[in-house]
């Protein structure tokens, strides 16, 4: 396992939900953290080895500024957790493509930009790690939410493409694909009790494991379900 001391991890969407849970977990394990959110002031995680910065997936300049600020503060980047995302209603027969476009911009192009910007630094350290928070909706279709599923299928493609591109330089990529997680995104979901959903803290432990595994023992995909899935 890779020791956390001295390793710097960037986490998008770190102000709440899965991103916040991952940040707290990694901080407890001894990592240095660069945390991004649209409202950096909303990130209430303190520590000498923690910095916060504005990250807006739709604003390429904010992505560049965040990476530059992270390198200026810590001198390196060892890992990237692409967590920020949105889930909007968008079915196949919807003529209005605004929701499709927004999910593509945030769920796909945001992680793509961050990956592109972080890759030189991840290559340089020889054991760079990327964790993409995808979804079981990126592996199968259970409802009419075509737009969300399409964006998460794209995240899976990005994960495997990045894994291929960075392999020879020690960059390893894991896509974590959870089912329903007890976060703000699922607060209006009524057919599954909150207590039966995945706890964000448990996903955080999986992300921490993915970041710590050595170059020769890497998990490309982690499918995490809280209820029976026919695909299994």
Residues tagged active-site: 148
3, 26 contact by CB (below 8 A): no
185, 200 contact by CB (below 8 A): no
Q: How many CB atoms lie within 10 A of CB 34?
A: 27
d(CA 18, CA 178): 11
If we measure between CA atoms, which residue out of 36, 65, 30 comes closest to residue 49? 30
User: What 3-state DSSP class applies to 172?
Assistant: strand
Side-chain-side CA neighbours of 114 within 13 Å: the count stands at: 38
76, 127 contact by CB (below 8 A): no
Q: Which long-range contacts (CB under 8 A, 24 or more apart) does 47-55 make?
A: 50/23, 52/14, 55/12, 55/13, 55/84
- Alpha-carbon dihedral sign for residues 205, 134, 85, 52: positive
d(CA 105, CA 95): 18
d(CA 101, CA 105): 6
The tokens of 203 are what? Answer: 């996903």
Helix or strand (DSSP H, E) at 209: helix 200-212
């Amino acid at each position: 396992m890779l020791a956390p001391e001295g390793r710097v991890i960037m986490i998008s969407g770190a102000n709440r939900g899965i991103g916040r849970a991952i940040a707290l977990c990694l901080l407890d394990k001894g990592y240095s953290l660069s945390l991004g959110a649209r409202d950096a002031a909303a990130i209430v995680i303190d520590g000498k080895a923690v910095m916060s910065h504005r990250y807006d997936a739709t604003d390429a300049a904010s992505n560049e500024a965040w990476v530059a600020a992270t390198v200026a503060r810590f001198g390196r980047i060892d890992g990237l957790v692409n967590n920020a995302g949105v889930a909007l209603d968008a079915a196949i027969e919807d003529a209005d493509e605004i929701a499709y476009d927004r999910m593509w911009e945030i769920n796909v192009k945001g992680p793509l930009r961050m990956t592109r910007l972080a890759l030189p630094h991840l290559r340089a350290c020889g054991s760079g790690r990327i964790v993409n928070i995808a979804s079981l909706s990126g592996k199968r279709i259970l409802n009419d939410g075509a737009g969300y599923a399409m964006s998460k299928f794209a995240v899976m493609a990005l994960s495997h493409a990045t894994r291929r591109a960075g392999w020879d330089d020690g960059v390893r990529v894991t896509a974590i694909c959870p089912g329903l997680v007890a976060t703000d995104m699922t607060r209006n979901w009524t057919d599954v009790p909150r207590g039966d959903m995945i706890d964000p803290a448990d996903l955080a432990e999986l992300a921490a494991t993915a970041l710590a595994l050595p170059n020769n023992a890497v998990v490309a995909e982690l499918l995490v379900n809280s209820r029976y899935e026919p695909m299994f």
